[in-house]
Structure 1
């Protein structure tokens, strides 16, 4: 599998690409394809691990179409270490780990397999001169050029982004301002292909950000500028089960997908209790907050259940048909005996 086809995990925070009308598509930031492409981000996954005052967010996003230029931004509450995760199948493995338990219900309805009946199942530096922006670190990670920024205002940061080749949505400065007021750091990432003409499609390699935090938070406020439906799945790995105590939109309740202690090399102790939530925001303009997770009152486990009806099929049909045949034959024999007795009685009279 080519690297560019594996590239769909990182840009979950917010891509900003040259030459297109802004159309935010990621939960914690925004994705924009280049002017010559029709690429759109359509899914986002995040693994949030927290223990001992340190949080680590690993991001993944799926892109439909292809883009030769892409970028994204993500705010974090403290100085972040940024690197690439070494497991390109991380979110597939998490999806398999948290999928519904399959429960089979048997049925012996004899004619189901003949088409006569149909059942149905139930159903995570120094300031740049005059800009008000401090460039704290610049690096290249795989196909990405990464810059860590601090800024005095949303306008200062968006001016810096625009000067450095980012196309900036008109809503970005206002949506960045609350984070900068709270002294958050901005991580800006651009696609930096090794070869001319290479493009982004499919899944991005997961990008990992590690920073100090006394709470479990997943940034979402930049998605306020989105113009399309946003769906995000957040896997929270911590010492205990967590509740979503603050949500991006008070009118949208996240769906609990899974809660349980897991035994996997992906989640070493003490972050081995996994809680997964998903939410869809059809009106992103109503987003006003980030996800904040806190320890739940207990570690009750939860797993969705999918009920599947399984018919015993052909042999149950044969058995019932044989039974019916025996009943008919038996009934015929009894009737014949009754008729024979009546006939004999009539003769004796």
Structure 2
């Protein structure tokens, strides 16, 4: 087994071990809100992508979650600053965003052969450069709205007491982690409301899995905020992909306990074609894509508050593909160079030998013996 294949096998085994660990852990939180599976079941949020925009008065958040696990249904709770409306979103929005922010691909050439190039072998490495039931509400909780949206049963709640909210959700079939009450306290103190959603697949005999239909939430807000505090309940690392539509390049005021948010794209939109992206963007013409990791979610200290960056410098990722420098029909330039040097060296040696052979042989001067002294 070559070293390359051994590394690939070791990497695959490591990834299988990490995946098994994640699946065995209940997903009590995702990047935006709290996800609660049925007692005794597991649920993992394998990917979360959100698009947000704010016009100074009203904020919109479109979220898409991908799930895996063995739970046939789950509850998801998201805090919002004010009364929210919920509707299904068009999945084509994220296709359009991915196209707008796709990296530029360029080729870099190298001269000398590397592992996988002839004559060093052909084992090239392949490293990648990518419905809550309507039970009666206890004191402290009011159901202010309810609608069925595709596979979702959406209840919009207000709560003046986090314990009352937790009990209401529990009475509707879900056991929440004990830390949720404490995590909800800051939102209750600020008189925030909640969107509570029961997730259930069309086929009740199959567990929740795959990509869910995206949800579009709209609410009034006096600041551009992306709720993240409940993610401190997560037991596994969290990853956030956030598309921010605004008039200028945007940034977060603070990492809120995660890695420094990384800009993966920043630039003006070139009048997107009619569709979900154009509808969400409205008059805004600047898109900032942010990526962030929370390796220790318990350290999350608050919500993302977004603000204008100091400059509108555009940025687009560049993905390089390394290729061996060749000439003609795939002939390596290094081979042509080496052969050329060898031919030149051999030719020079033969020429020097021929020149030496063609010269007349000049005898050495005679040795003069001095006469004897006497």
Q: Same fold (TM over 0.5)?
A: yes
1:115 CA displacement: 4.3
- 8 Å CA contact retained: 2:73, 2:207: yes
Partner SS state of residue 168, structure 2: helix
Partner SS state of residue 36, structure 2: coil
Q: 2:93 aligns with which of 79, 90, 93?
A: 90
Q: 2:219 aligns with which of 190, 196, 211?
A: 211
Query: Residues 47-196 of structure 1: matches in 2 within 5 Å?
Result: 47-87=51-91, 89-109=92-112, 113-116=117-120, 130-196=138-204
Which string of whole-angstrom CA distances, capped at 9 and with x for unpartnered residues, describes residues 301-326 of structure 1? Answer: 11223333222234224532542353
- 8 Å CA contact retained: 2:29, 2:233: no
- 8 Å CA contact retained: 2:63, 2:214: yes
Larger Rg: 2
- 8 Å CA contact retained: 1:110, 1:320: no
Q: Which has the higher contact order (CA 8 A, sep 6+)?
A: 1
* Cα distance in 1 between the residues matched to 2:41 and 2:137: 35
Matching residue of 2:311: 298
- CA root-mean-square deviation: 3.0
Matching residue of 1:283: 296
Q: TM-score, normalised by structure 1?
A: 0.82
- 8 Å CA contact retained: 2:151, 2:201: yes
Q: Is 1:327 paired with 2:338?
A: no
- 8 Å CA contact retained: 2:37, 2:174: no
Q: Is 1:336 paired with 2:339?
A: no
Q: How many residues align?
A: 324
Partner SS state of residue 345, structure 1: coil
Partner SS state of residue 131, structure 1: coil
* Cα distance in 2 between the residues matched to 1:188 and 1:241: 32
Matching residue of 1:308: 321
Consecutive unaligned residues of structure 1, counting only runs of 5 or more, are 1-19
* Cα distance in 1 between the residues matched to 2:71 and 2:175: 14
Q: Is 1:252 paired with 2:259?
A: yes
1:328 CA displacement: 3.6
* Cα distance in 2 between the residues matched to 1:56 and 1:103: 36
Consecutive unaligned residues of structure 2, counting only runs of 5 or more, are 1-23, 130-135, 366-374
